[in-house]
Amino acid sequence: MIKAENVVKKFEDFTALNGISCSIPSGCIYGMVGSNGAGKSTFLRLVTGIYRADGGTITIDGEPVYENPSAKGKIAFVPDELYFLPGATMDRMAKLYQAIYPDFDTARYNRLAEAFGLNRGKQVNTFSKGMRRQAATILAISCKPQYLFLDETFDGLDPVMRNLVKGLICQDVAERNATAIITSHSLRELEDTCDQLALLHKGGVILESDIGDLKTSLFKVQIAFREEYGISKFEGMPLLHFSKKGSVANMIARGDREALVAKLKAMNPLLLDVLPLTLEEVFTYEMEALGYAFHDVLEVES
């Protein structure tokens, strides 16, 4: 389990993380979203022991990470800016990983390199951006880490490779009870992979929740009545959002879906439709509820 409490990180005068707290349980895929400069990469570098926190604590399985080989031995990190030794081939990099990571699985590396169809004898720096990311991911996954940190991992990967990487991550989580922490700008990318999601903004966690709960906790209701009505008609109901065009009203509600529908049916509406929300919509309305304007916070892929 990864636990961060009131973590602060400053770069000279700039505060990148301002008292961030979260806990990531073992055996899950944890997604982090946020705009540029939200602090996602900084958080990952703190959790992987690259940076030292200026305040607060970060532990992995109860151990501090910074300068702790035992905790760092459980970690593999694929950063947003990849590093390969100058002029190194994949095999040379595999040797380096083998030297550094005690659990590096050469057989797995061979299998994955074969599966991804990468030329292991060619200099990695001559690879395309996507191929370099594939190479880095293969090397990291071959370390068989307990905690796998992936920063903007799907950036530059084609859809086939994305699915392959997602599949590998899911496989590790399922088979070895590993934990994967993935950051992305794209909610859609994480929607079908992650178990938990956290939204970071300006150095703080705004929202952290189980993805299933998030999706089911909110739902959209379209409703219409013969008579004129307003939001007061629904007083006492757990609404996050209400808008009306003509006689049709759109509402975002939270809580027990069946009970609410039963209540609404009892009001004899002309139209009653309950629709599921996308993750983006869930985040939008949750943010609204917290007082954040969604468009300021997220860069949603169209």
Interface positions with another protein (CB under 8 A): 11-12, 45, 48-52, 67, 69-70, 72-75, 77, 79, 81-83, 85, 95-96, 98-102
Min separation Cβ 286 and another protein, Å: 32
Min separation Cβ 83 and another protein, Å: 4
Min separation Cβ 115 and another protein, Å: 24
* Nearest to another protein of 101, 234 (CB atom): 101
17 neighbors 8 (Cβ within 8 angstroms): yes
* Nearest to another protein of 9, 220 (CB atom): 9
* Nearest to another protein of 25, 102 (CB atom): 102
Min separation Cβ 131 and another protein, Å: 17
Q: In the Cβ-directed half-sphere of 269, how many Cα atoms lie within 13 Å?
A: 19
* Nearest to another protein of 48, 217 (CB atom): 48
* Nearest to another protein of 77, 219 (CB atom): 77
Min separation Cβ 34 and another protein, Å: 19
